[in-house]
Amino acid sequence: MLRTDLKIFKSERMTQQSDAGGQRTANEVQNGQLNEVFGNISDIDHAQSAVDIAKIYPAVSTANTDLLQDGHILINEPPLDPLVDVMIVEANGVNDGSTRADIVEAIESSVVASLLLRSGMSGFVAGQDQISDVDLQQNNAGPGEQKIVQLGIGRVYALAVEYTGNESDEWPRFQHFIKITETGSGYYRFEPPIPRATPGRDKNVNGQIRCTVLRDTTVGAGVIYHGVTQLTASATGSELQVSKTAGRVTPQLQQGFERLNNVPFAKTEEGLLRKNITLPAIGAAYEVEITDFFAISSVDFIVSYVSNNRAFNDYVNANALTGTTLSFTTARMPDTGSTITISYFSSERYQNYNNASAIPGGYTLLFKTIEGTVFDGSRSQRYSITKRLPNEILVFEVTPSGQEYRQAATLDLITGEPSYVNNHSALQYTAILENNAASGESATSCYFAIPFDNVIADSFYVSVALVAGGLLSASGDSSGNITGVSVTGAISGNIVNLTFAEPVKLSTLKYNINELVDLVPPTNLYGINPLRLPKGGAVQLFRTYGVICLAHNQYEQYPSLTPAQTLTRRPNSFIDIVDSTGASLWHPLSTHYEYDKATGEVTIVDVTGFTAPYELIDTLSELTLVTGVTGSTLKIRAPLVGSFPAGSIVSSVYQLGDLQARTTNMFDQNIWDGTWADVIKGDPATANYNAINYPIEVANQSAVNERWAIIFTSDTAFRCVGKNVGQVASGDILNDFSPINPATNQPFFIIRSSGWGGGWQPGNVLRFNTVAASKPAVLLRSVSAGHSAIEQDSIRLHFRGNAE
């Protein structure tokens, strides 16, 4: 096998329409030519940004079945334009027949609906962009669902219509992915608006109710992205410093939003304050000793933590507390090196009270927690307490003038004794008492997670009341440092640590911060829904246990080359010389130039037929395994053998596997029902094909990835059908059968007549698959909006492997 036998072919349609892509053609991607894969970037692309997708086929193009071992491709040179990002997309759902629409569907499988948060959501109308907080409260929770669901700003969720049985014409099943953009009094706002109506909570669909559901989302594992970056420092040891490890599938469109008056340690509406316990985050499963739990809330424990640099709250029921041991598992894996915080109400601070007895000394009644009834002598009946003002109890009664609130009594908050008014008496109530000794607040440090993703550190402003009276305040800078009078701290990602020189009341702490929010452009802008992509389109280009290639490329321009001319290059390099048309001077017999790997000397032999000027490419490269990705650092298995200075190229390798044409899964059936299964269904045919002595013949240059069926129409005649290509030819068992691949003008395969034998009957089928010596690959180009001074740009794609 020669270097020139490795080719990259175009797909059927190299456009940006939904039907682009398709099968492999015989049209090669020409080296050094512009617009062979992607078209020009237009003025509109620069103005609004764009996403282009191209499907290509790295292939072994030989007339035999020579093996290319561990074939792989990589981007060896990135585009010069900083507004352009190019990557290779490796997706499970992409095959030879895939079009752009199929590729987009595979890419969008990155984010899928997961955990059921709430069934029985209120019915939505088309165009609605709000979720009522009522739907997320305890009284609407279905069996096994969280008591209370809190949605995070900037988070992606899925609204869906789900039921079993036949599809309803009135309420068809569908999923709509949303991003929470705002929270207000009793609602969450999202975008984009829901495009169609959904059934209400009690609407019957196929005998089922609660069919409109809200689900969390998770990132699937079926898509891998391969990109290219550069070393920012010389490669030394087992860590590589690179300019980036992530790229963007969709361009980033952002807008700044002010997040004002955030209260991380707020009291409840009743004036209750939770106790916080902070622990190091070690895994997802925990057992924590809680000796002072006090149950007074529908949400018993709140577990706060950071996962994948995002803040999350899990709500844990009191039934997770056995004795004094709280056992729970977080819904997501907390980040290594972070902490988790458990919040609950403490019995050291609160206790229940019934006014049948006196309030014990040292406790104060919390007025807003009172529940009970009072007797109205004017109407000779009891009324529930429906409104509480400071020290006053009001009831909602029917009076001659209509319904109104009437004062029933005032309370002494120390003794609990009522003073009645308006002919009321016999007050009976329960409440919560606060221990005066524990009622004070005093803290000199705190830690909390900002529930927003992309915050601007220098917009941070915090204020908090001193225990002794007065106010402290501080602000952040662009480096994340927080400074103020008697306040120091830092912002790392979205984690805030603060230290106070004097004791403060944490329940009074408020902060403001600005967040850069990724806008959600309509799907038709790029043809990809950004909500179906991890982190809105920001994807990892390198991964743990992925292979990378380091390369140091040197390019030398020569106005002309003459026979016997010698050029001094580096030893043990990959050397290529191309002319002005992109044609390579490499030849297996060194007809045009010779390269001595030991000395690095290149000797020109003959340049007849080539057009000056020339470019000599000198590449030193090395493959290695990534064992960790952290920020802009790639950890590798072992130090590199070669020397790679800053600016060297680091490429993520897309492994195509062994490339060699072959046949698989041959079997025969008596009758075929049209199902493209890879195992026999039903009875075998009486006859059989002798594949041992007369194997079906294929060649690298023309075999395709396809399932084939030879369907007999008589005792000797048959027709040949491919699952993707359809019927390609008819034949018989009396002659060799070699259906032509129109892309290559060579046979898809050859079946020798000597292998058939007799006994075949109409309806019998011979099933087999062919595997091509090629694999489809998807290139994606993301163009961010902005002005570019780059007039001509390109990338270099390498296709390599090992062969005898």
pLDDT in tens, 419-468: 888 888 888 888 899 998 887 788 899 888 888 878 999 999 999 999 99
- Tell me, what DSSP letter sits at residue 745? T
- Tell me, what DSSP letter sits at residue 758? S
Q: What gap in Å lies between CA 132 and CA 135, rounded to an integer? A: 6
Least confident residue range of 171-185, 239-253, 399-413, 557-571: 399-413
Three-state secondary structure of 26-85: EEECCCCCCCCCCCCCCHHHHHHCEEEEEEEEEEECCCCCCCEEEEEEEEEECCCCCCEE
Least confident residue range of 242-246, 319-323, 435-439: 435-439
User: Does 398 score more than 50 pLDDT?
Assistant: no
The CATH architecture one would assign to domain 254-270+441-514 is: Sandwich (2.60)
Nearest residue to 246 via CA among 650, 539, 536: 539
Least confident residue range of 151-165, 435-449, 489-503: 435-449
| Type and span of the H or E element at 370 | strand 363-376
Residue 389 pLDDT grade (very low, low, confident, very high; cuts 50, 70, 90):
low
Nearest residue to 57 via CA among 101, 6, 91: 6
At which residue do the structure tokens 């062994």 appear? 658
For the sheet containing 654-659, what is the strand order? Answer: 654-659, 68-77, 796-802
How much is the mean pLDDT over the chain?
90
pTM: 0.76
For the chain, the domains span 111-219, 254-270+441-514, 274-349, 350-435, 547-653, 662-771
Q: Pick from 132-146, 355-369, 502-516 the range whose average pLDDT is largest.
A: 502-516
pLDDT in tens, 51-107: 999 999 999 999 999 999 999 999 998 998 888 999 999 998 899 989 999 999 999
Q: What gap in Å lies between CA 753 and CA 163, rounded to an integer? A: 54
Least confident residue range of 389-393, 448-452, 504-508: 389-393
What residues contact 340, with CB distance under 8 A and at least 6 apart? 278, 279, 280, 281, 286, 303, 304, 305, 330, 334
Residue 487 pLDDT grade (very low, low, confident, very high; cuts 50, 70, 90):
very high
